[in-house]
Structure 1
């Protein structure tokens, strides 16, 4: 049964990445789209905790790194979403009890993940943007993620709660 639940979560990751890359590009602002993979990882952090969310962040980030039209060194999104998932899991008790706290956590995770992605590009020598442009892209991404999270975070957390394995008493 756990493999079925894990398979369902992998399907959710694939759907999020496909929607992010293929569909949401039509509503981009300066080339920035809402990060559905990040929102799924943050929702997983709220529901299952930091270790599960970090693992899911690695998987979602790797899929995002390899999804066309990726033009960067693979692993940058994986690293960013691992950290974001871990952070979301660490604040899950506060975020589950308050909508403003959840949206603030999304904003923080979005900022951290986008910053890690941008700074890792500078360190690895990927052709990137100037510092001012990077900050503009990060701010647009945070705003997008918070706006979309206000709508999608409740159904994502509810779905991930349903996919959570039952606790077994020993």
Structure 2
């Protein structure tokens, strides 16, 4: 991953984790907690692809495992978000542009269900049966509802930030050439003529004047 990706991803994940622990977790909503860290991983995975999504998911999950008041084994949520980030990155558009919000909303719903099931499954493997006592069905329903409600306010903004960092003109080695092309296009649109056509027209005018001059010298015509 490039440095700007790492820096932006780290900042967004840290901010999302702080908001989730200090704000969302204190709302005491029934069932699950709105997972802002999960939404951040999904948004970045839709921009950076499956490899970037897996790396960001692992790092975000590890931070969530170590941040207080975490009461589960370290690495549990890191594994879950790593898998979810990889799977979400597979849904990245081919040309990097989302045509509608339907795809990210479907990714959010599937990730909410998948992450809850994976978290409960990994917990069952290590002897944690808390999800069974709370009620897995209730956790699934509330996780999907909360994440879908929060997604329209977060995922598009995070995707826009990630794309802006990817298209940073300072990081584009061909930025000067692009600027020259844009300037040429602007001049052409402003005058209604192409620069190449202007040069060609000037050459044709000079050639015509030369032919007239030669004809005048041959026929004895007086030239003004």
Alpha-carbon distance in structure 2 between the residues aligned to 1:43 and 1:112: 16
Q: How many residues align?
A: 168
Q: CA deviation at 1:93?
A: 1.7
Deviation sequence 1:9-68 (CA, Å, 0-9, x none): 212111111111111123342252211111111001111101001100000000011111
> Which residue matches 1:49?
49
Instruction: Give the 3-state SS of the residue equivalent to 1:93 in structure 2.
Output: coil
Q: Which runs of 4+ in 1 moved over 6 A?
A: none
> Which one is further off, 31-40 or 91-100?
91-100
> Which residue matches 1:144?
146
User: What RMSD over aligned residues (CA atoms) do the two structures have, in Å?
Assistant: 2.1
Asked if the contact 1:25/1:31 (under 8 Å) is kept, the reply is: no
Within 5 Å, which residues of 2 pair with 1:147-158?
147-158=149-160
Alignment equivalent of 1:113, drawn from 112, 115, 121: 115
Alignment pair present for 1:86 and 2:86: yes
Within 5 Å, which residues of 2 pair with 1:1-170?
2-30=2-30, 32-93=32-93, 96-130=98-132, 133-164=135-166, 166=171
User: Which TM-score applies when normalising by structure 1?
Assistant: 0.89
Alpha-carbon distance in structure 2 between the residues aligned to 1:9 and 1:132: 32
Alpha-carbon distance in structure 2 between the residues aligned to 1:75 and 1:142: 23
Asked if the contact 2:8/2:162 (under 8 Å) is kept, the reply is: no
> Which one is further off, 107-116 or 23-32?
23-32
**Which structure is richer in relative contact order (CA contacts within 8 A, separation 6 or more)?**
1
> Which of the two has higher C-alpha Rg?
2
Q: CA deviation at 1:4?
A: 4.8
Gap runs ≥5 in structure 2: 175-224
Q: CA deviation at 1:127?
A: 4.3
Gap runs ≥5 in structure 1: none
Asked if the contact 2:17/2:37 (under 8 Å) is kept, the reply is: yes
